[in-house]
Amino acid sequence: MGKYTIASRELGQRIQSGTADWKLAVLGSLVFLAIEVLQGHESGALMHLGNGRAILKGQTSPSTKDISAGNSNHRLGAETEDFVAAFTRLSVEEYPFFDLGTVVPPAMPDQPIYFADLKDARLSLNSILTAIYSSIRRHGRNYLQVLPLSPLPHTVEAEIARLRETLKHWLQVFENLLFHQDYDIENPIPASVLKVQYLVIWIKVSAYFLFDETAYDQYRPLFEEIVERSEKVIEAGMRSSSKLKGPCFTLDIAMAQPLYFVARKCREPTLRRRAIGVMKKVGQEGIYTGRTIAKIAEWIVATEEKVDSAGTKVSERRFHDVAFDFHSDTRTASVLATGRTVDGMWEQKSTVLDLV
């Protein structure tokens, strides 16, 4: 902790004086975030998360000079893409960097042949996740939800198809590992976490470019498996850390992301409410717990499930994007949601929620 204090102070001084390399500052934020997490300090963890994101967005967003010159193709290097991927996965919404412009794609991940252990499987899945999120950022805004009304450009279609094939191959190798080494029996938590992450990204990459949000309805069995596996992971985490206060950044906070995804995209009323109920068990204190994220999800559900005067649900009320920001001083959350109208036009809805 003494070394951490010295390092944190030194980095802060370098940032203030303008002598710190921005990549070092971002990497330092991630390292310091991890230390605060291990100590159970919410305010420190959120501070480093916010600082790192601000530095990263400041360095990777198009400059005023680029915009005035009409240069919309602001490009990132592969190394920077790793930073973007890291902060993307630390966000519950998972898409906080859409305004980065054109992003240089990372190397296409290799199809795995063999996993020696769960660490190998995780590293492989991480590389696939990075490539998929990069692809969505690069193409999402330009060709947002057009299938099957119009085709994707051939290069985009080929890239998505290859990523899906790689992801499917990962699952085959992963299940072979579980079968031969009984990981799912001896240590079910790590295996379940990886399977949940796989299920979430498979649904996303399969349905993201479809025009109609009802496309997600076909994945109900996968949504149900996400909830069941997440529930087991969270319950196991609660048993193992029953003596802790349960700060916002506990091991099981990662499970808030898939549960939030289920509440967002699965429109089966019972299942999405079950996901919200499980989400409320994540973390015990602080502003960034499963309970506060569940408040966002509850607002989404209530808004989407409103009925018109005839008593029928309107599919156009389904949101495509939902972004939110927590305010620790007022303990409120600003929420901005985007969906299509009956005419197919984009429409925004915003609100401020009380988190107390």
Per-residue pLDDT of the chain (356 residues; tens, 9 = 90+): 889 889 888 888 888 888 878 888 889 888 988 888 777 676 777 788 888 888 887 776 655 444 344 444 444 566 777 788 788 777 777 665 555 545 566 678 888 899 998 999 999 998 898 888 888 877 776 556 677 778 888 888 899 999 999 999 999 999 999 888 776 665 678 888 899 999 999 999 998 888 788 889 999 999 999 999 998 888 776 665 544 444 444 444 567 889 999 999 998 999 999 999 998 887 655 556 778 889 999 999 998 887 554 455 555 578 888 888 888 788 898 999 988 776 767 788 899 999 88
Contacts for 198 with CB less than 8 Å, ≥ 6 apart = 125, 167, 170, 171, 174
Provide the residue type at 317 as one letter.
Answer: R
Three-state DSSP class for residue 39: helix
Q: Which of 335, 332, 329, 338 is nearest to 350 (CA)?
A: 335
Q: Is 342 within a domain?
A: no
Give the pLDDT of residue 232.
Answer: 86
Does 12 map to a domain? yes
* pTM score, whole prediction: 0.81
E strand or H helix at 333, and its extent?
strand 332-340
**Which spans in the chain are helix H?**
2-17, 22-39, 42-60, 64-68, 78-90, 118-139, 154-181, 183-186, 188-207, 220-240, 256-265, 269-279, 290-304
Place of tokens 């994707």: 152
Q: How many domains does the chain have?
A: 1
3-class DSSP assignment, residue 315: helix
pLDDT of residue 165: 95
Whole-Å CA distances, 91 to 16, 84, 114, 256: 26, 11, 30, 10
pLDDT at position 214: 83
Report if residue 71 sits inside a domain: no
Q: Which domain holds residue 21?
A: 1-60
The answer to whether position 32 is within a domain reads: yes
Distance CA 31, CA 177 (A): 31
User: Quick one: tokens of 204?
Assistant: 């996303």
**Predicted local confidence at residue 194, as pLDDT:** 92
Task: Report yes or no on 293 lying in a domain.
Answer: no
**Do 174 and 121 form a contact (C-beta atoms < 8 A)?**
yes
Residue 344 region by backbone torsions, left for phi larger than 0, else alpha for psi between -120 and 50, else beta = left
Helix (H) or strand (E) holding 330, with range, is none
The answer as to whether 190 is a domain residue is: no
The DSSP-derived string for 246-293 is --SS-GGGGGHHHHHHHHHH---HHHHHHHHHHHTTS-SSSSSSHHHH
- Residue 15 pLDDT: 80
Structure confidence at residue 244 (pLDDT): 47
349 vs 230: CA distance, rounded Å:
30
pLDDT of residue 124: 94
Are 162 and 128 a contacting pair, CB within 8 Å? Answer: no
Which one-letter amino acid corresponds to residue 180?
H
- How far apart (Å, rounded) are the C-alpha atoms in residues 167 and 297? 28
Most distant pair of Cα atoms in the chain: their distance: 65
**Nearest CA among 326, 308, 329 for reference residue 92:** 326
Give 86's Cβ-side CA count (13 Å radius).
20
Joined tokens for residue 256: 């808030």
Q: Classify residue 115: in a domain, yes or no.
A: no
* Per-residue confidence (pLDDT) for residue 187, from 0 to 100: 64
| Residues 6 or more apart in contact with residue 242 via CB below 8 angstroms | none
Q: Which two tokens stand for residue 61?
A: 């967003």
- Residue 321 is predicted with a pLDDT of 82
Q: Are 79 and 23 in contact (CB under 8 A)?
A: yes
Task: Give a yes or no: residue 47 inside a domain.
Answer: yes
> Which neighbouring-strand residues pair with 354?
332
| pLDDT, position 65 | 44
Residue 307: what pLDDT?
A: 54
Contact of 317 with 303, CB cutoff 8 Å = yes
How far apart CA 341 and CA 338 sit, in angstroms, is 10
Structure confidence at residue 338 (pLDDT): 85
